[in-house]
Structure 1
Amino acid sequence: MRSVHFALILLASVVAAGAARADSSFPFGMEMTLDALPQPGSKRVPDLDIGDNGEVVLELWCKGGKGQFSVAGNTVIFVAGQMEDRSCPAAKAQADDDLLAALTEATTWKRQGDDVSFIGIRTLKFRLNTN
C-alpha cells in the first residue's frame, strides 16, 4: 500500500511539473489584452494577437498595425511595423506611442498562468484571452 501511495505522489508531481513547464511558454498563436483601464470615453483596451511565428496584429487605444516578436528563452525583441493613424485624439495617440515604446524597450518576458509580462524600463502586463 505504501508503494502505491508513493507512486501516486510521484505521478502527481510529474504531471504538475509538466503543467508548469507548458504554462511558461511564450504564447505564440494566442491573443492577449493589456491589463489597463480603457481611456476616458472609450471601452477599448489594447490587445495583441500573436501568430505562430511571432507576427503580431496590434489594436491599441486608437491606432492599429502590425509588428513582430522574436523570442529566445526569456529574452524578447519587439519590432513595430507601420501603425495606422486613425485620426486619433492627441491623448490616445500619445498613449499608443508610449505603449509601443514600452513594448520596443522590453528586453525580457515572463509568463505566470494567463498573465504575460514584458519587462524593460516599464513592465507591461497582459492577460491571455482564454475564453
Structure 2
Amino acid sequence: MEISNNPEVICRMGRITMNTALEDDIYGNVNSTHVLGSEMMNGIGGIQVMVSEQDLADLRAKIPKESARLIIEKCAHPIYKNQLRDYFEHVQRFSFGQHTSHDLKQALSWHIRLQETDSMHPDHQTTTRQF
C-alpha cells in the first residue's frame, strides 16, 4: 500500500488499480469473487497484468493463447508448469476455433483433487477429508 496509495507515485504514473485474485485460469480470466465456486469472498474486479510469487505476466494486447503461454511460463508455480502445459496442449487439440478452450471435466477435477487431498497436484498423497 505504501507504493500503490502513494500520492507521488500516483501523480507520476496515473491511476493504479489492483485486485486480488482467488484463482485465475491460464488465459488470464480471474475469479475474484467465489471460493470453490460457491462461497462469496469479495467484489468484481479485472486485471491486465497478472502478478504471482513467481513473476508477472503483462497480458495487455495478448490473445488468449498468448496469455495462457505467458501465464504458465511466468506466473505458475514450478511444480504445476508441466501439468498446465499438458492441459493447455490437450485443450488446443480439441478447441475447434474456440476463443478460450477448456475441458471442464479435467479442469474441475483439479478442484475435486483439492477437496480430497488439500492439493491440486496429482502426486500429492490422498487424505481423508470430510466436507
Please indicate the TM-score interval, normalised by the length of the shorter structure.
under 0.3
TM-score, normalising length from structure 2?
A: 0.26
Please identify which structure carries the higher helix content.
2
Say which one has the larger Rg.
1
Higher strand share: 1
